[in-house]
Amino acid sequence: MRRVVITGMGALTPIGNSVPAFWASLIKGQSGVAPITKFDAENFKTRFAAEVKNFDPLDYMERSAARKYDLFTQYALAVTEEAIRQANIDFEKLDKTRIGVIWGSGNGGISTFQEQVTAFNNGDGTPRFNPFFIPKMIVDIAAGVISIKYGLRGVNYATVSACSTSNTAIIDAFNYIKWGKADMIITGGSEAPITEASVGGFNAARALSTNNESPGTASRPFDVTRDGFVIGEGAGAIILEELEYAKKRGATIIGEIAGGAMAADAYHLTGTHPDGEGAVLGMRLALEDAQVGPDQIGYLNAHATSTSQGDTSELRAIAQVFGRSDRINISATKSMTGHLLGAAGAIEAIACVLAIKEKTIPPTINTTQVDPEFQNAFNLTLGSAQKKEIIYAMNNTFGFGGHIATSIFKKYDNS
């Protein structure tokens, strides 16, 4: 079976606009949550979010191009550029029919949709839609734009599985390369959901934290006082390549993806199964795909959104797969970044790869009173980063609709 390695990564997050900045903030335990600036949230139940700071699309593209793209596509282009630069790729020297893009987004151009429909509803009923309305809005357009920019003619599509979206994209990309259908794929996800429609909709579903008095500590996974997730935005890109292909072109290999799997809770529209049945299946299938045992996983980046039912069901699932043990380090990086929805899996995959490479487990912050059901049951890496030699790391993502995606990353070994 062909091995698949990682040669480049790009990150745009609420705690840093590059991979080095993201990682530095992550291991410091820095929160990226603050009052919303993208719209006037005074009348909303939730008035804070994890926004990307100081992003200027003109740092990455011409003004004429930026006008054609929704923010989620601008984010995608920004992180892809960083990943390509790190991977030191010259596409003109490669067979571009063997290079593809699999990119995910849960919401796509929701700000464009809201803006255009609002303008129409506030008008006289005469359609005056922007000619770029549809291509700015549709979820697949980021994948298409990346391929167009770099002339990549291999597999090209978008994944949508709610908050499992970009992890699904990574697993699909891994499989395409493993099966010999591509040599290199740009994969990941982007999300720009901090709009009135998204915040209002999640508020109506009672999914968001309303801790407006202390935004920076509102995302508190596993804590007995947790009251919902903190909506975030950003993007993550990963360059995956077949091992021998990467070595032949002289790439520096950062890490390896060992396996991945998808499953379903098949339980509820928005809620997870109380005992995490889908999560158990996804983790076990991922371990089987990677051909490793539970005792070989040194770090698990939990989905852990800071919702009451979600965090509980995930820890119950982890207990079934790994036992109630402090041997494995678990952390919830959403305590710092908030929940990037469809982009979460890609950002958290980058955290897993860097945890292996830097021998450091990022912390879970804000959690001071662990849910009594799990006190002393796990090592949740509370408060500060921990140094640890890791060979394998697991990344969990779950989405509305019962979607489960779990990927496993490995320390690169040239043997």
Structure tokens, 389: 């030699």
Query: Between β-strands 297-301 and 392-399, what pairing exists: parallel, antiparallel or unpaired?
Result: parallel
Selected catalytic residue, list 50, 83, 163, 328: 163
Query: Between β-strands 184-191 and 99-104, what pairing exists: parallel, antiparallel or unpaired?
Result: parallel
Rounded Cα gap, residues 260 and 285, in angstroms? 7
Please, are residues 394 and 404 in contact by the beta-carbon 8 Å criterion?
Answer: no
Please, are residues 266 and 363 in contact by the beta-carbon 8 Å criterion?
Answer: no
Q: What is the largest CA-CA distance in the chain?
A: 68
**Exposure class string for 45-58: b at 16+ Cβ within 10 A, else e:** bbebbbbbeebebe
Nearest CA to 76 among 40, 46, 103? 103
User: What is the residue type of 294?
Assistant: P
Rounded Cα gap, residues 15 and 250, in angstroms? 32
Residue with tokens 């919401």: 107
Please, are residues 26 and 236 in contact by the beta-carbon 8 Å criterion?
Answer: no
φ, ψ of residue 163 to 5 degrees: the values are -80, 0
Active-site residue, 163 included: yes
Angle at 346 between CA 53 and CA 145, to 5 degrees: 80
φ, ψ of residue 67 to 5 degrees: the values are -65, -25
E strands present in 21-97: 34-35, 48-49
Structure tokens, 349: 């995959």
Residues catalogued as catalytic: 163
